[in-house]
Amino acid sequence: MSASSSAPARDRLRIAIQKSGRLADPARSLLAACGLSWRQSRDKLFCFGESLPVDLLLVRDDDIPGLIADGVCDLGVVGLNELDEQAKARRRAGLADAYQPLRGLGFGQCRLMLAVPDEWDWQGPAQLAGKRIATSYPAILAAWLQEQGVEAQVVELSGSVEIAPKLGTADLICDLVSSGATLAANQLKPVQTLLDSEAVLAGPVHALDDARAGLMAMLLRRLDGLSKVQDRKLLMFSAAEERVDALARLLPDAEPLLRLPAEGGAVRLQTMCNGALSWQRLEELERAGAQELMVLAVEKSLA
């Protein structure tokens, strides 16, 4: 069942996040950085929003798309892999789309990959014909196989996919790879990417029509503000006038240097930089005549 307009109007937004696992802590931190805070409940599955009427539901990540589809939750932080798998499964079952990714969140990066036993000589998808592939992502895998025009057998497993080749229940696997340690430990090697994934904020396909709509818009705007400033650093320093041009040349990836009023001969300068400013880079600037170097992280922005 999907959220319908006959559902009772709600004035609190409900966000589902993973209770424990890779995405749990970053999801909470990100929402906290958006200005949300919660009263921790005793059962720790529901957190009542204090700063804003935005509550958290702590669940298994696999349950998040369904909770959005059923209108139990309005938003969820979930891996694109899980969202895409369940969306494809719905479509195969003839069901209408019920959720969509709204924003990539920049953490939880991983890939859904085919991995084969180390001793295989991988020559491409055609080699998969007639093979058994173990996976927890049967819909994505089936769609990919179809795209490739390859007929292989999809063996659906809910966990411990990586030991299937050793147990003889499959010839190869299709699973998430992050560091690659799990594959290596099971004498498997990744050979083909099916999906690049990261954590996303997922939401309904239809706009909400009560007080939650405004809360959702505000949250999205704050998220955008955070992602805009995430890698931005304000660099401040002073220098003698005749060194300014040389210093500017050492900062090709920064915005044009802004001069601030200063006393005496030195010029006060500042600029916004994208990405990290390493110690090495600061020392290089210092050798070129920059003094009193200071790097400030940007915390919020409503540009």
Element (H, E) at 176: strand 172-177
Q: How far is the CB of 111 from Zn ion (least distance, A)?
A: 15
Q: Which of 78, 77, 106, 79 is nearest to 231 (CA)?
A: 106
Q: How far is the CB of 57 from Zn ion (least distance, A)?
A: 16
66 binds ligand PRP (CB under 6 A): no
177 binds ligand PRP (CB under 6 A): yes
Site for ligand PRP in 240-299 (CB under 6 A): none
61 binds ligand PRP (CB under 6 A): yes
| Nearer Cβ to ligand PRP (180/289) | 180
177 is in the binding site of which of ligand PRP, Zn ion, none (Cβ under 5 to 8 A by kind)?
A: ligand PRP
178 is in the binding site of which of Zn ion, ligand PRP, none (Cβ under 5 to 8 A by kind)?
A: ligand PRP
Radius of gyration of the chain (CA): 25
Residue 135, by phi and psi: left (phi above 0), alpha (psi -120 to 50) or beta? beta
| Nearer Cβ to Zn ion (61/84) | 61
Q: Which of 114, 11, 109, 20 is nearest to 58 (CA)?
A: 20
84 binds Zn ion (CB under 5 A): no
Locate all alpha helices (DSSP H) within 156-243, ordered by sequence: 164-167, 181-185, 211-229
40 binds ligand PRP (CB under 6 A): no
* Spatial distance between the Cα atoms of 56 and 31, rounded to a whole number of angstroms: 10
DSSP reduced 3-state for 86: helix
127 is in the binding site of which of Zn ion, ligand PRP, none (Cβ under 5 to 8 A by kind)?
A: none
Window contacting ligand PRP (CB under 6 A); options: 138-146, 173-181, 243-251, 268-276: 173-181
User: Which residues are within 8 A (CB) of 230 and not within 5 positions of it... i.e. 6 or more apart?
Assistant: 106
| Nearer Cβ to ligand PRP (135/238) | 135
* Phi, psi torsion values for 193, nearest 5 degrees: -90, 130
17 binds ligand PRP (CB under 6 A): no
Site for Zn ion in 51-70 (CB under 5 A): 61-62
Query: Please, is 189 exposed, middle or buried when counting C-beta atoms within 10 Å of its C-beta (0-12, 13-18, 19+)?
Result: middle
175 is in the binding site of which of ligand PRP, Zn ion, none (Cβ under 5 to 8 A by kind)?
A: ligand PRP
Locate all alpha helices (DSSP H) within 12-163, ordered by sequence: 24-33, 64-69, 80-92, 138-148
Q: Which of 2, 180, 248, 298 binds ligand PRP (CB under 6 A)?
A: 180
Site for Zn ion, rule CB under 5 A = 61-62
Residues near ligand PRP (CB under 6 A): 21-22, 61, 175-182
